């Protein structure tokens, strides 16, 4: 990820066949990727130390490159980084498969504490769902592709595909399950919020680049996404605040042993 994103930011050839708009969006994603690498390493260190929070941050951070590299692999013209994109996508996919069964269940008595975080996920999923559908449905009715596709030089927007089919329904489902006190839903709240924060920061980076290039249309989505990122961070802090933190410390050796066995 570090190699591909650094080259995407510093070299001209990785995106030489893309439109100006899609280059800026890809470079915004590259900035988000470098941040994700740092979070991934730090959370992995905390995970080996037995931290419950680090475990959930690690899972959520892994979900971010899974999403990002599906976009790179399918929506960036074939080039010298193609196999790097595919390799990252495969590594992340199988790491998530291996890690998911070891994800520690969250106590059901966390249901009340998770209420705000659950509503943040539901609200985020609904907000972006309405936003994307407001672009896709009129285009579907008229039979004319959305103008954003022409600007980006795409035949279809992979972000619409991933968000409307998997990500946004998943956020809403996790939020609903958490509100019901379901253990799986409660366990996935923080990973989903971490994914939302990292993805939001990469969108903000892309919008900053677009605005800096002289296109003010990036300002409204940048402000909207900044609100989502801030709210998601607040939800993580509210959910993970513990006093005292003895339960997590006591569980540390058991968590370390689980990952050693895996």
Neighbours of 257 (CB within 10 A): 11
Q: How far lies 138's CA from each of 50, 157, 218, in Å?
A: 50, 15, 21
pLDDT tens digit at each of 262 positions of the chain: 999 999 999 999 999 999 999 999 999 999 999 999 999 999 999 988 888 888 889 999 999 999 999 999 999 999 999 999 999 999 999 999 888 766 666 655 566 778 999 999 999 999 999 999 999 999 999 988 888 888 888 889 999 999 999 999 999 999 999 999 888 888 899 999 999 999 999 999 999 999 998 888 888 889 999 999 999 999 999 888 753 343 444 344 555 555 555 5
As given in the structure block, the two tokens for residue 95 are 């790491």
How far lies 218's CA from each of 45, 152, 181, 232, in Å? 36, 14, 38, 21
User: What pTM, to 2 d.p., does this model score?
Assistant: 0.87
Q: What is the pLDDT of residues 56-99, one digit of tens each?
A: 899 999 999 999 999 999 999 999 999 999 999 999 999 998 88
């Amino acid at each position: 990820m570090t190699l591909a994103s650094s080259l995407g930011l510093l070299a001209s050839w990785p995106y030489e066949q893309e439109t100006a708009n899609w280059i800026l969006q890809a470079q915004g994603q590259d900035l988000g990727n470098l941040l994700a690498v740092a979070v991934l390493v730090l959370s992995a260190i905390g995970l080996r130390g037995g931290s419950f929070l680090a475990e959930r941050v690690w899972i959520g951070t892994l979900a971010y490159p899974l999403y990002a590299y599906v976009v790179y692999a399918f929506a960036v013209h074939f080039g010298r980084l193609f196999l790097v994109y595919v390799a990252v996508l495969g590594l992340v996919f199988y790491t998530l498969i291996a890690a998911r069964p070891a994800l520690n269940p969250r106590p059901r008595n966390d249901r009340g504490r998770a209420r705000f975080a659950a509503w943040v996920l539901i609200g985020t999923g609904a907000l972006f769902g309405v936003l994307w559908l407001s672009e896709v449905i009129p285009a579907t009715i008229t039979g004319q592709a959305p103008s954003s596709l022409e600007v980006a030089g795409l035949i279809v927007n992979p972000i619409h595909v991933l968000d409307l089919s998997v990500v946004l329904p998943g956020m809403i489902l996790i939020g609903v399950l958490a509100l019901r006190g379901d253990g799986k839903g409660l366990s996935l709240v923080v990973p989903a919020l971490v994914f939302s924060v990292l993805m939001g920061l990469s969108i903000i980076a892309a919008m900053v680049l677009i605005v800096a290039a002289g296109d003010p249309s990036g300002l409204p989505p940048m402000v909207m996404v900044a609100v989502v990122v801030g709210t998601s961070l607040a939800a993580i802090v509210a959910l993970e605040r513990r006093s005292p933190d003895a339960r997590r410390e006591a569980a540390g050796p058991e968590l370390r042993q689980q990952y050693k066995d895996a």
